[in-house]
Chains A and B, each alone.
Chain A
Amino acid sequence: MAQSTKSRAGRHLSQIMTDGYMELHTRASQGAFCVWIAINVPAEIFAGFENVIYAVPESHSAMCAGKGIGAVMCEKAEKLGYSMDLCSYARIDIGNTTDNGKDSPTFGLPKPDLLVSNNNNCALLAKWFDVHHREWSVPHNVMDIPFCYTPQQEKDHRYIISQIKDLIKLIERLSGQEFDAERFNTAVHHSWRGLKEWKRFLHCARQCPSPITAFDSFVHMAPFLTLRGTPVMADHFKLLADEAEDKSATGQLPVPGEKFRLFWDNIAPWHQLRKMSKRLAELDANIVGASYTSCMGTVEGSFALYDWDEKDPFDYIARTMNAYMCPHGLELRHSSMKEAISELTIDGIIFASNRSCKPYSITQMDQQKRISEHLGIPATMIEVDHADVRKYSEANAFLRIEALLETIEAHRKN
């Protein structure tokens, strides 16, 4: 259940996120070169420069949705002619730029000097960033990361590294700053340390009952997006993992009567975190894991942390650009989920069919069938939009979730 008072890690998160956005605005106003990136652009690159900062519109949109202002900001974009069928993150971001972040909890984002998107989570990010590219005449670099039906191939890995190096040259040219490989290397090590702590945190969910919920992971993933490559992120994840282990040791449980252990597949329903976690807890159900947050630091076909030998940072960031679920096909996703079902002792799966994220959602119907038929795990599909509350019906969603819980009960009796 969502706690009424924030834990130490919760308070720390609020502080570092506030500080992070403050610093972003301050440095931008002082002339730092500002890059807007898609979430799986390896942000450690920017740490290789003396005065390059980065902002993540997807993360900002998620925050807006979480604060309950997603729909308002979507409407601003819709008034400009952007279809309601488009991704709600994109609509929030475009809406936000119409009035310089008037309604944003972070006063929006500083205007970019460069846009860097990629197409493996979704190619639409490139289209979305093109909107800004055209409107503001800001350069836009699209990183092309081949979709994986099998684990990343060597030719693709080489291709990605060449693009990363070209991106560095582009930033050098545009910003007039020189790339420092040592600073970059240090940043990659911070991320690597942070991701190990993140995994330690997630592994706490293996305990039954679990001391954490997937909602915790949704909330706390933000530093990986906006503070990537910093010791602040790594330290936060350490604090988070320590706290979870402490809760585990002292029996502080978010769902004390945990009867149903569920797994979530899709982006977090940002506008529903508190409500959904509370209502699930009342049903003794705990979403203990989510593909969305389990995939951080992993590669195709497994949620295990990708084991870096700590040698070549370029090799590592190119390899892990295939983290997240969307860059992989059905088979690889199935392999990861199968592993999670076993490790987390999952009773049932909620597939959130997300109108705003087709790359995540298309294949879910077949995935659901496979999970139910081949693994014998009950699953349901609910309709969600990750950031536009207007496309979500709590009543419909819970009708299906409650039916799932009944099915799990019936399974147990048989």
Chain B
Amino acid sequence: MDPTSNIDLILNQNSGGRPIIGCFPLYPPLELFSSMGLYPFVMWNLKSSIGDLTESDKHIQSYACAIARELVQYVLSGSFSNPDGIFFYNACDTLRNTPEILKSPGSASGSDMAMLQMHLPQVNRFQTNADDYLKNEIEELIIATEKAFNVKFDPCRFEQTVLQYSDLREYCQQAETKVAEGALSFESFAEVVMANYLLPPELQIEKLIDLIRQSKSGSFRKSPGVVVSGIMPPPGKVIRAIEASGLRIVSNDIAALKRSYAYNPKPTGDPGTYYTDLYNNRFPCTTLLYKSDQRLDMFLDLVETSEASGVIFCGEKYCEYEYFEFPHLEKRLKEKGVAILNMEFSIDDVDNIGAYITRIEAFAELLNS
């Protein structure tokens, strides 16, 4: 059974009565909420839980991405217990318009769900210093959270939580290294990391330690390496097909994976300093406009240092942030002799993967030849 198939059960089993806060993707301040005694989880990877999109389709158009449609379905379907609160930030044009839909009068989500928000500065850091703005946003978020949930911020608890998340990111990186070596499958790695988004940090760490223990020892055949890029990892069946074709996923540039755990800020009890560091220095994502210049260099560097001979772009249908970049990245990679496979996943493609498998096999043949 897919680990996210019963979200309510997982959240209720693990929250221990803490208020549950559903966070919009992509990069919410999880450490902050966690340290304040809340139970944050990121509302993505919901496909296997929500069934259909009937409720979402009444509110947002079918040309919104799967992440947004599934999120709306999850909150508005009435099939799940509502989180006690929702956190959102300016992650993308579609997601910024979604909170008011979730809170619309007469919606299943009701009116007593706390809505917490911040604006993540997207201005070029070389042009305007936005650190003070961001620090103020974090301060205001703390005040709003304290008020909404009758909790108190504590710098010591924050620092402890930050250390826990730091360990968590370290374990993610260790597991990723095992995948690159061929000692672990990317499929099991991605499955654990994605399922972890519903779990508290201590349990996430346990799952990752278990995963790392399962890795094989010894030396492995050095099959052609590929980097997988996108917002979400491709569907399990597609990852299986990539690995079965003899390709080794030597690194990833996935928003829900590496772009989330690659940078570990210096631990501190000051949330303003911590999040300024984290957001300013995190692995560049297509959605972080101020990271645009670094993104190109870091992506090319990632491909080079991982010695990948190919890149598989897993496009999230209708995610324009990603699609504006593909042609230029493709051009730059081709100049370096790196082969490209472009795949696109929309809402129903998880069930119809025959064509993907054929393309993956052809790509593997190309890289093996």
CB under 8 Å from chain A, chain B span 303-345: 315, 317-318, 320-321, 323-328, 330
The reply to whether the CB of A179 lies closer than 8 angstroms to some CB of chain B is no
Which residues does chain A contribute within 8 Å of B123, judged by CB atoms?
A: 142-144, 163
Report how many residues on chain A are interfacial, defined by Cβ distance under 8 Å.
50
CA distance A345 to B92 in the complex (A): 35
Look across to chain A and name the residue whose beta carbon is closest to the beta carbon of B319. A85
> Closest Cβ of chain A: how far from B310's Cβ, in Å?
17
Contact across chains for B324 and A130 when beta carbons are under 8 A apart: yes
Q: Flag if A142 contacts B58 (CB, 8 Å).
A: no
Task: Tell me which residues across on chain A come within 8 A of B290, comparing CB atoms.
Answer: 142, 144
* Residue pair A131, B128 in contact (C-beta under 8 Å): no
Q: Are A363 and B292 in contact (CB under 8 A)?
A: no
Contact partner of A142 among B60, B90, B122, B317, CB < 8 A? B122
- In the complex, what's the smallest C-beta–C-beta distance from B10 to chain A, in angstroms? 29
A397 within 8 A of partner (CB): no
The yes or no answer to A185 lying at the interface (CB within 8 A) is: no
User: Cα distance A123–B324 when bound, in Å?
Assistant: 12
Taking a contact as CB atoms closer than 8 A, the residue among A83, A86, A134, A362 that contacts B97 in the complex is A362
Chain A residues whose CB sits within 8 angstroms of the CB of B93 once the complex forms: 122-124, 358-359, 362
Given contacts A155-B136, A330-B97, A359-B93, contact A142 B289 (CB under 8 A): yes
Q: Given the complex, which residues of B lie within 8 Å of A366, measured CB to CB?
A: 59, 100-101, 104
Closest to B93 in A: A359
CB-CB contacts below 8 Å: A357-375 with B? 358-359, 361-366, 370
B96-107 Cβ-contact flags toward A at 8 Å (1 or 0): 111111001000
* CB of A161, distance to nearest CB on chain B (Å): 11
Does A119 sit at the interface, judged by CB under 8 A? Answer: yes
State in angstroms the CA–CA spacing of A230 and B92 once bound together: 34
Beta-carbon contact of A149 and B99 below 8 Å: yes
The interface bits of chain B over 62-95 (1 if a CB of A lies within 8 angstroms of the residue's CB, else 0) are: 0110001000000000000000000000101110
Check if A82 sits within 8 Å of B323, measured CB to CB: yes
| Contact residues in B for A147 (Cβ distance below 8 Å) | 90, 96, 119
Chain A nearest CB from B216 CB (Å) reads 39
A167 at the interface (CB under 8 A from B): yes
- In the bound complex, do residue A134 and residue B328 qualify as a contact, i.e. CB atoms below 8 Å apart? yes
- The residues of A that contact B324 with a CB separation of less than 8 Å are 82, 86, 90, 124, 127-128, 130-131
Residues 1-48 (chain A) with a chain B CB within 8 angstroms: none
Assess the B128–A119 pair: CB atoms within 8 A: no
Report the bound CA distance from A329 to B119 in whole Å: 14
- The answer to whether B318 touches A119, judged by C-beta atoms less than 8 angstroms apart, is no
Q: Are A81 and B122 in contact (CB under 8 A)?
A: no
A130 adjacent to B292 (CB under 8 Å): yes
A358 touches B323 (CB 8 A): no
| Docked complex Cα distance between A170 and B64 (Å) | 36
Q: Given B104, B128, B317, which contacts A162 in the complex, CB threshold below 8 Å? A: B128
Contact with B along A153-180 (1 / 0, CB 8 A): 0011001001100110010000000000
A159 to B93, CA, bound (A): 20
Q: Total number of A-B contacts with CB less than 8 angstroms?
A: 141
On whether the beta carbons of A134 and B296 are closer than 8 Å, the reply is: yes
A142 touches B124 (CB 8 A): yes
Interface residues of A in 304-348 (CB under 8 A from B): 329-331
Give chain B residues whose Cβ lies under 8 Å from the Cβ of A331.
100
Q: Are A127 and B286 closer than 8 Å at their CB atoms?
A: yes
| Residues of the A chain whose Cβ atoms lie less than 8 Å from the Cβ of B133 | 155, 159
Contact size range, B: 35 or more
**A141 CB within 8 Å of chain B:** yes
Q: Say yes or no: B96 contacts A330, CB within 8 Å.
A: no
Minimal beta-carbon separation of A107 from chain B (angstroms): 25
In the complex formed, the residue of A with least CB distance to B324 is: A127
- CB interface residues, A 101-137, toward B, < 8 Å: 119, 122-124, 126-128, 130-131, 133-135
Query: In whole angstroms, how far apart are the Cα atoms of A197 and B326 in the complex?
Result: 44
A126 touches B289 (CB 8 A): yes
Measured in the bound complex, the distance between the Cα atoms of B316 and A384 in whole Å is: 22
Out of B96, B104, B292, B321, name the residue touching A133 (CB < 8 Å).
B292
In the bound assembly, the distance between CA atoms of A166 and B321 in angstroms comes to 26
C-alpha spacing A147/B63, complex, angstroms: 21
Task: Decide if B100 touches A329 in the complex (CB within 8 Å).
Answer: yes
Nearest B residue to A327 via CB reads: B96
| B61 contacts partner chain A, Cβ-Cβ < 8 Å | yes
| Cβ proximity bits A85-102 to B, threshold 8 Å, 1 near / 0 not | 111001000000000000
How far is B315's CA from A163's CA once the two chains are assembled, in angstroms? 33
A81, B330: Cβ atoms closer than 8 Å: yes
Minimal beta-carbon separation of A259 from chain B (angstroms): 30
Tell whether, in the assembled complex, residue B122 and residue A362 are in contact, meaning their CB atoms are under 8 Å apart.
no
CB distance from B214 to the nearest CB of A (A): 38
**Do B289 and A149 touch (CB < 8 A)?**
no
Q: Which residues on B sit within 8 Å (CB–CB) of A364?
A: 61
Contact A85 B121 (CB under 8 A): no
A85-B321 CB under 8 A given contacts A144-B123, A358-B94, A362-B94: no
Give the docked Cα–Cα distance between A141 and B286 (Å). 16
| Interface hits, A365-407 → B, CB 8 Å | 365-366, 370
> Given contacts A126-B122, A144-B123, is CB(A355)–CB(B289) below 8 Å?
no
* Alpha-carbon gap, A133 to B295, bound state (A): 13
Say if the beta carbon of B13 comes within 8 Å of chain A. no
Q: Is A272 an interface residue (CB 8 A)?
A: no
A80 on interface, CB distance cutoff 8 Å: yes
A140 within 8 A of B: yes
Given A82-B327, A142-B290, A359-B93, is A167 in contact with B98 using a C-beta cutoff of 8 Å? no
17 pairs of residues in contact across A and B, judged by CB atoms under 8 Å: A81-B326, A82-B327, A119-B289, A130-B292, A134-B296, A147-B96, A147-B119, A155-B133, A162-B128, A167-B127, A329-B97, A358-B94, A358-B97, A361-B61, A362-B64, A363-B101, A366-B59
Shortest 3 CB-CB distances between A and B: which pairs?
Answer: A81-B327, A127-B324, A144-B123
Given A123-B90, A147-B119, list of 9 further CB < 8 A pairs? Answer: A85-B318, A126-B289, A127-B321, A128-B324, A170-B127, A329-B99, A358-B320, A359-B93, A361-B61
Q: Report which A residues bind B (CB closer than 8 A).
A: 80-83, 85-87, 90, 119, 122-124, 126-128, 130-131, 133-135, 140-144, 146-147, 149, 155-156, 159, 162-163, 166-167, 170, 329-331, 353, 355, 358-359, 361-366, 370
